[in-house]
Amino acid sequence: MLIGCLAAALPAAHAQGALTPAQSAWAKAESRNVEDRFVAEVAAIVGVPAARVREAMPDERRITATVARLLAALEQDLGEPLGEARKAAIHAADERRKRELAAIGARAAQR
């Protein structure tokens, strides 16, 4: 999943030229931090451990509707629907995650 996120986050940097190894390492670490924050936020929303959310996360390289699949997996795991308020909060967290990942490429090129 991280590789797909990193690849999606770096087009702006590649348009400006190749990243140095240090910039690439920073971008990879920053992408991992963004993903970790997303998992922690979803875990808090749902009320389950972060490890449980991470297990429910689909492989983003193959799945286009990541949040829809995550919600379905969490509901199946919990055995109950999440409710509209929690689903909306998870969607909002995913939008923040996507914005943060998209900004990493430009920030990496400036480092």
On the 0-12 / 13-18 / 19+ scale of CB atoms within 10 A, 103 is middle
**What pTM was computed for the model?**
0.78
Q: Could you read off the pLDDT of 41-94 as tens digits, one per residue?
A: 999 999 999 999 999 988 766 656 789 999 999 999 999 999 999 999 999 999
Please say whether the beta carbons of 46 and 78 come within 8 A.
Answer: yes
Please say whether the beta carbons of 15 and 105 come within 8 A.
Answer: no
